[in-house]
Structure 1
Amino acid sequence: MTAILPAPESAVVPPRSRAAELVARRVPGFSLETPFYTDPDIYDLDVELIFGRHWIFVAAEAEIPEEGDYVTVEIGNESVIVVRDDDMNVNAFRNVCRHRGARLLDGRCGAVGNIVCPYHQWTYGTDGALRFAENQGAGFDKTRFGLRPVHVRAIAGLIFLCLADEAPTDIDEFAAAVEPYLAPYDLRGAKVAHQTSIIEDGNWKLTMENNRECHHCEANHPELLGAYFPFHRFEESRVPARQKPVFERYQAANEALSAAREAIGFPSAHIRELDSRVTGFMVDHMPLQGKGASYGDDGAQLSTRLMGSIVDPVFGDFHIHTQPNGWFHMLGDCAVVFSVLPVSPNKTLVRSTWLVHPDAVEGVDYDLDKLIFVWEQTNAEDCSLVERTQNGVADPGYVPGPYGVVEDDVEAFVAWYIKRLGAELAKGA
């Protein structure tokens, strides 16, 4: 029997070169090739070059309302502390002690007076400054050993991080664009009503692709469609005949929503820069079905306390998409914000956070089960869809297929990803 010898080392294509080849041959308008969804090397590059060098959404400011409140964020093998300091500023630091590298804080969230390393009790302020380090030599300079900072921006109540040494500067343009839309909801002053974290058995890009279209909603999200019109990015000519009556209701509700915006001077421009900038984003405002107020039964209002300065409970769904990992739904009576983080090539964390007016009282102003019901159901249904798609793209029978005309935001996400991965690979070429 002839022995099968391993391929010579020169025949092994380095991961970056292989990724560059895949990027170069991607066909616009089609889904990605299998390795983008399954290959551990591509996954590692995603963590390093996409999540490591771009602004990512990680938390709502309402999660850290007081001095010393913190959350931790896990991105690949990196851990970050996001903490509010004594001056109420939002700071972010590597979750690593400057002494001998021990992990500082465990768990998702908590509150501290100072950040104390459990190993040798090096002690840091919430501003990152080293305050105590025992048994150091006479020449020891505490100012040289503060916690390593991470770029952080709190934008109208939403917290974004960038792990890179130099963060993309167009975050300022993003902030300037979205703050006028978000200000009336006062997310910064809201409170957390509920939060869930689930693991989807699929690649993070499949989670994002699934989110970027509602083409699948009619067949898969009956609870959501009790309030949500499935016409995001639909033109009238694209609407199937069976949906014409619903589309007519949508048009009438959209006219009423326009009047409600004008009444309070709420911005009306639709912004879609999903694949044309480094920090890609989109803002849109859509009416809801039925009563048109929120995600209750037939669009019913879910909390008697309206958000911020919103005065009309029938104020539709204002939503934002951010590349690579966030989406946000603002209603008159609550907000729901979503953060996606990669866990492995075929596992993704989806964190959902429900925000309400700071004075809203559970059991009095809102029923928690009703508040979260629609998005909890939708998350569970999407979890199944993502797993089903992961199983399919890993099958040898899979070949990339074409996106439909109503899936242009999926194409925009994939185009952004390919463009940004290619650009970051080129930097290291």
Structure 2
Amino acid sequence: MSVTLPTDLPALLNDCSTGFALPRPFYTRADIYEHDIAAYWNQSWIWVGHVCQIPDAGDYFLFDYAQESLIITRDRTGNVRAYLNICRHRGSRVCTEAAGNTRLFVCPYHAWSYDLNGQLRGGRDMGPDFDPSAYGLFEAHLRVFDGLIFVCPGETAPEIDPGLDRLRPLTAPFGLENLRIAHSASYPVPANWKLAVENYMECYHCAPSHKEYSRSHSLKDPASMTDELLGAMRDRARAAGLPDEILSLPETGDTGMNFYYRRYPLYPGYETGSHAGAPLAPLLGTLGGYDGGATDLQIGILNNFLIYSDHVVGYRFIPRGLQETDIQVVWYVRGDAEAGRDYDRDALTWLWHVTSLDDERIIRINQQGVNAHRFVPGPLSQMEWGVQSFYDNYLSTIGRSVS
């Protein structure tokens, strides 16, 4: 896959300093944005959804970012597949509906049709020398981890399996494969996608910017995570059937990929991420009780999850344009939970709805300041180590296109 380089990209990479924010062009230039999509997003693993969205053969949904579109489907043998939503004839989108069930994928332009396994079934009037087997849909790399679907659209993909193997025993008690979507929401923000990712990667801003979150989550102040608070959570975690590890998994493989798992305590009186601390939904997986903790789970920089004892919140930051990004939030509950009986949707979504509204505001005004010509990258705080981790991954990935 060819990638067109901005002519001064090597010089821009040299201008980046460890421990400092990125220079202004990385957030303001259209050619850098286009390169981001080709060299970073298309070469990364992207969380696109959950198997609960495609329970039956022929079920499918689309996942779109920037100018790209992916078809996620379940074939007739029950396997989950992912294809680029590009007709092999003249490039039309094959699927135009966001989700559905189908026997064949049929291009709306010239009616080329594809099986659920991606093979071309028929192209009309193509002549006797035409070989349909050479024109199947482009298939993307795919992994299903505990029901979560990850796709890499590029020709080669970062190594992911060793990291997933190390995460499995940590996530197993939550039963992530047995989830259903309780709600999903999108919060458009007029900012470059990197500013949205950076905001999620640090809690330096949490105390001043997220008052509701800060009442319950000790992550907003590392000094508040006392040995007493941590020890109490770990005791409850063991009793509930959770591992008590707090781990950062290192980069895996030559191409580099970040994995992160950390369970940290909520403040006393909070069993989950609710308004007053009370439970919100049935316990996940095999948990035997509430430990008063929350897990930050990261599977690649782009894919972030917050796991409470009774629900999961997934976060992603989808580029739509140079300074257009959708903050997408998905709330999951146990697969057999029913709205109105087992959980109240408004109560379940309250915390991360108000927090996402906060994020839209602070990311928007961050972009406004970065747009100013006098912007000069400033130093990162000790609490912004996650931002530096993102920079390291991002700069390494796009730097490979230069070498």
Report how far residue 45 of structure 1 moved: 1.1
Report how far residue 71 of structure 1 moved: 2.0
Between the aligned partners of 2:81 and 2:292, the Cα distance in structure 1 is: 33
Residue identity opposite 1:106 in structure 2: T
Say yes or no: does 1:163 pair with 2:188: no
Report the structure number with the largest CA radius of gyration: 1
Can you list the C-alpha shifts for 1:31-76, whole angstroms capped at 9, x where unaligned?
1110011111111111111111122222223332332222212233
Partner of 2:247: 270
Partner of 2:112: 122
Partner of 2:22: 32
Partner of 1:4: none
Partner of 2:257: 279
Gapped runs of 5+ residues in structure 2?
none
Partner of 1:93: 83
Say yes or no: does 1:254 pair with 2:230: yes
Between the aligned partners of 2:116 and 2:290, the Cα distance in structure 1 is: 39
Report how far residue 360 of structure 1 moved: 0.6
**How many residues in Structure 1 have an aligned counterpart in Structure 2?**
398
Partner of 1:82: 72
Can you list the C-alpha shifts for 1:180-221, whole angstroms capped at 9, x where unaligned?
222222222211111112221111111111111111111111
Partner of 1:391: 368
Q: Percent identity?
A: 31
Partner of 1:204: 193
Match for 1:22 among 12, 27, 47? Answer: 12
Partner of 2:212: 223
The DSSP-based 3-state class of the residue aligned with 2:297 is strand
Partner of 1:357: 334
Between the aligned partners of 1:390 and 1:155, the Cα distance in structure 2 is: 34
Is the 8 Å Cα contact of residues 184 and 310 (structure 1) preserved in structure 2?
yes
The DSSP-based 3-state class of the residue aligned with 2:78 is coil
Query: Aligned in 2, Cα 1:208/1:23: closer, same or farther, shift over 3 Å?
Result: same
Report how far residue 269 of structure 1 moved: 4.3
The DSSP-based 3-state class of the residue aligned with 1:262 is helix
Report how far residue 131 of structure 1 moved: 2.9
Can you list the C-alpha shifts for 1:149-174, whole angstroms capped at 9, x where unaligned?
11111112222221221112x21112
Can you list the C-alpha shifts for 1:340-395, whole angstroms capped at 9, x where unaligned?
22122211122111111111110110000010111011111001110110000111
Report how far residue 103 of structure 1 moved: 1.1
Partner of 2:53: 63
Query: Aligned in 2, Cα 1:82/1:275: closer, same or farther, shift over 3 Å?
Result: same
Is the 8 Å Cα contact of residues 71 and 85 (structure 2) preserved in structure 1?
yes
The DSSP-based 3-state class of the residue aligned with 1:411 is helix
Say yes or no: does 1:50 pair with 2:40: yes
Is the 8 Å Cα contact of residues 50 and 420 (structure 1) preserved in structure 2?
yes
Between the aligned partners of 1:218 and 1:284, the Cα distance in structure 2 is: 20
Between the aligned partners of 1:22 and 1:329, the Cα distance in structure 2 is: 34
Larger mean CA deviation between 31-40 and 412-421 belongs to 412-421
Between the aligned partners of 1:171 and 1:267, the Cα distance in structure 2 is: 24
Is the 8 Å Cα contact of residues 200 and 383 (structure 1) preserved in structure 2?
yes
Partner of 2:389: 412
Q: How does 1:101-250 map to 2 (within 5 A)?
A: 101-168=91-158, 170-231=159-220, 234=222, 239=223, 247=224
Is the 8 Å Cα contact of residues 275 and 413 (structure 1) preserved in structure 2?
no
Match for 1:306 among 283, 287, 312? Answer: 283
Partner of 2:306: 329
> TM-score by structure 1 length?
0.87
Report how far residue 315 of structure 1 moved: 4.8
Between the aligned partners of 1:199 and 1:392, the Cα distance in structure 2 is: 18
Match for 2:296 among 314, 319, 343? Answer: 319
Between the aligned partners of 1:155 and 1:275, the Cα distance in structure 2 is: 16
Query: Aligned in 2, Cα 1:98/1:18: closer, same or farther, shift over 3 Å?
Result: same
The DSSP-based 3-state class of the residue aligned with 1:400 is coil
Can you list the C-alpha shifts for 1:69-119, whole angstroms capped at 9, x where unaligned?
222122332211111222221111111222333211124333323222223
Residue identity opposite 1:301 in structure 2: P
Residue identity opposite 2:54 in structure 1: I
> TM-score by structure 2 length?
0.92
Is the 8 Å Cα contact of residues 163 and 252 (structure 2) preserved in structure 1?
no
Partner of 2:348: 371
Query: Aligned in 2, Cα 1:354/1:172: closer, same or farther, shift over 3 Å?
Result: same
Report how far residue 262 of structure 1 moved: 2.8
Can you list the C-alpha shifts for 1:296-339, whole angstroms capped at 9, x where unaligned?
12322111x21111221335111212443121011111111112
Larger mean CA deviation between 361-370 and 60-69 belongs to 60-69
Query: Aligned in 2, Cα 1:396/1:138: closer, same or farther, shift over 3 Å?
Result: closer
What is the RMSD computed on CA atoms of the aligned residues?
Answer: 2.2
